[in-house]
């Protein structure tokens, strides 16, 4: 019986070379957990921030640490007290912690849902975090109503693509920033006003905004306070220090994704039936995960990168 497994881990915070493929001990399923043989894992923009230690205060972790926060695969073993799944079930979901970039991962069964037959592991692995986080961040500041004006920074990314679709389904007027190469994609999602953030100041197009969804951070966040309506708010998934950067008299919220299996199951069903469209920019092999993490740091992508563990 194999007692070790491949994993992508960080021994010390740093740049591109800090994430490495290594051999570690194979884990067992604990109380309320199932052990998943991972078929694929989503590569997320926050991975490089974990790697560099930029989110230590918001997400403390003990080194060495295996990176990765979402996966899809097959139940290999069922731990004590777990009853929702059986060996051989195909499952998908977020970990609620780090550790997805390994061949076998123990996961709290409450975080997982059954993978629909219409989705393979590669498709399924790129859905859980972005689909749920986009929904939760869209609704964090309050209910979304038809006619509201919503500005989404990073609209072509994994979270942004879902957020545009959700906002349009709710009847909102959507303003979206993206790079020039991604403008047509964002338009195809239904955004009403698509802004090339490198060539155009979004402030000249977006005014009286009820909600800004910030999936990018940086100076774009700081400039966004000026476009808010009097009761508007900014929800950021990219700037852990948003509270410190919120001017007096404004409302800024830091978003942290929370596992929600009921919501995930509903969104996955919408994807399987075609009413919600995911987007994948690249499929990489296991050994290419460190490079893919760095690629997310270097430049914006359309949709999600997924690591196929069979490659």
pLDDT for the residue numbered 55: 85
pLDDT for the residue numbered 2: 79
Does CATH number 3.90.180.10 belong to domain 4-127+278-308?
yes
- CATH no., domain 131-254: 3.40.50.720
- DSSP notation for 152-211: EETTTBHHHHHHHHHHHHTT-EEEEEE-GGGHHHHHHTT-SEEEETTTS-GGGT--SEEE
pLDDT for the residue numbered 301: 81
Q: Report the first-to-last Cα separation within the chain, whole angstroms.
A: 22
Query: Average pLDDT for consecutive 10-residue bins of the chain (311 residues)?
Result: 92 97 97 98 94 87 96 98 98 96 98 96 96 97 96 95 97 96 96 95 96 94 96 94 94 93 96 92 96 91 93 88
pLDDT for the residue numbered 1: 64
Strands (DSSP E) found in 45-133: 65-66, 70-78, 90-94, 104-108, 113-114
- Residue ranges of domains in the chain: 4-127+278-308, 131-254
pLDDT for the residue numbered 115: 97
């Amino acid at each position: 019986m194999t007692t070790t497994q491949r994993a992508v881990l960080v021994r010390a915070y740093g740049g591109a070379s800090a994430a490495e493929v290594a051999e570690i001990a194979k884990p067992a399923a604990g109380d309320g957990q199932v052990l998943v043989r991972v078929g694929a894992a989503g590569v997320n923009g926050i991975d490089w921030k974990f790697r560099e230690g930029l989110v230590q205060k918001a997400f403390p972790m003990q080194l060495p640490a295996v990176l990765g926060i979402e996966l899809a695969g097959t139940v290999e073993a069922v731990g004590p007290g777990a009853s929702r799944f059986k060996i051989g079930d195909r499952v998908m979901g977020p970990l609620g912690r780090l550790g997805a970039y390994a061949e076998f991962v123990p996961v709290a069964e409450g975080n997982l849902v059954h993978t629909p037959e219409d989705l393979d592991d590669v498709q399924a692995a790129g859905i859980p975090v972005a689909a749920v986080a986009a929904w939760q961040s869209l609704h964090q500041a309050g209910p979304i109503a038809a006619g509201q004006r919503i500005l989404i920074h990073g609209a072509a990314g994994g979270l942004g693509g879902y957020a545009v679709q959700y906002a349009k389904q709710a009847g909102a007027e959507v303003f979206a920033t993206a790079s020039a190469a991604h403008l047509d994609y964002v338009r195809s999602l239904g955004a009403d006003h698509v802004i090339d953030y490198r060539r155009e100041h979004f402030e000249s197009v977006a005014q009286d905004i009820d909600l800004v969804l910030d999936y990018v951070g940086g100076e774009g966040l700081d400039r966004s306070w000026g476009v808010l309506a009097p009761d508007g708010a900014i929800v950021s998934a990219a700037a852990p220090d948003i509270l410190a950067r919120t001017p007096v008299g404004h409302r800024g919220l830091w978003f942290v994704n929370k596992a929600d299996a009921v919501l995930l199951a509903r969104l996955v069903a919408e994807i399987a039936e075609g009413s919600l469209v995911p987007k994948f920019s690249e499929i990489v092999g296991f050994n290419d995960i460190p490079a893919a993490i760095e690629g997310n740091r270097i430049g914006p992508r359309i949709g999600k990168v997924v690591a196929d563990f069979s490659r």
